[in-house]
């Protein structure tokens, strides 16, 4: 080994000094550069991992929210269809009710008009009978030439009308 040392001209004192200098430089670089750099890299790694975890959570929450939204939308559509169907049924029932009421009112109007026509007919017949009685009285007076009392008038009128 000494042969080797002489061949390469290695000086022990210089080698120890260089090892000592290297150790000092390594320690200084380790404490001043590598440790802070490792800490910063660990923090950045933690931030990145946290960001990825948060992104996964947000993505899961988004898919969950989308599923809830889809369910709510389907429920809203179902409710809207139910409301529309109910409104259609209510409108149809109301239509039938209005038709029935209109028919009833028309029937009442027809009955009222029939009663009015019967009353008019009765009034007209009464008026005709009165005029006919007057005409008969006038005809009898002309034929008899004198006026008959009221009792005889009535008896004669009844006989002629029958």
157 neighbors 136 (Cβ within 8 angstroms): yes
Residue given tokens 């009442």 in the structure block: 108
Q: How crowded is the C-beta side of 74, counted as CA atoms within 13 Å?
A: 6
pLDDT > 80? residue 111: yes
- In a 13 Å sphere around the CA of 147, the CA atoms on its Cβ side amount to 3
Residues 6+ apart with CB under 8 A from 156: 136, 140, 148
* pLDDT (tens digit per residue) in 39-87: 999 999 999 999 999 999 999 999 999 999 999 999 999 999 999 999 9
What is the tally of structural domains in the chain? 1
pLDDT for 106 beyond 90: yes
Percent of the chain with pLDDT over 70: 93
What's this model's pTM, rounded to 2 decimal places? 0.41
Q: What is the DSSP letter of 9?
A: T
> Residue 136: which of 112, 154, 115, 118 has the closest Cα?
154
Provide the token pair at 110.
Answer: 């027809």
pLDDT at 121 exceeding the cut of 70: yes
96: domain range? Answer: 2-161
pLDDT of residue 71: 96
Query: Mapping DSSP to helix (H, G, I), strand (E, B) and coil, where does residue 135 land?
Result: helix
């Amino acid at each position: 080994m000494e042969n080797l040392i002489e061949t390469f001209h290695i000086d022990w004192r210089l080698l120890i000094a260089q090892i000592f200098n290297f150790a000092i430089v390594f320690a200084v670089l380790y404490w001043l550069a590598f440790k802070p750099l490792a800490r910063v890299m660990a923090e950045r790694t933690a931030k990145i991992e946290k960001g990825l975890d948060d992104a996964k959570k947000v993505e899961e929450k988004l898919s969950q929210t989308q599923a809830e939204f889809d369910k709510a939308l389907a429920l809203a559509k179902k409710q809207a269809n139910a409301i529309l169907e109910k409104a259609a049924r209510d409108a149809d029932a109301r239509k039938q009710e209005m038709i029935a009421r209109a028919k009833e009112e028309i029937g009442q109007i027809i009955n009222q008009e029939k009663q009015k026509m019967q009353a008019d007919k009765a009034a007209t017949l009464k008026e005709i009978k009165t005029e006919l009685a007057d005409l008969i009285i006038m005809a009898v007076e002309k034929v008899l030439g004198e006026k008959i009392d009221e009792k005889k008038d009535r008896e004669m009128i009844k006989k002629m009308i029958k």
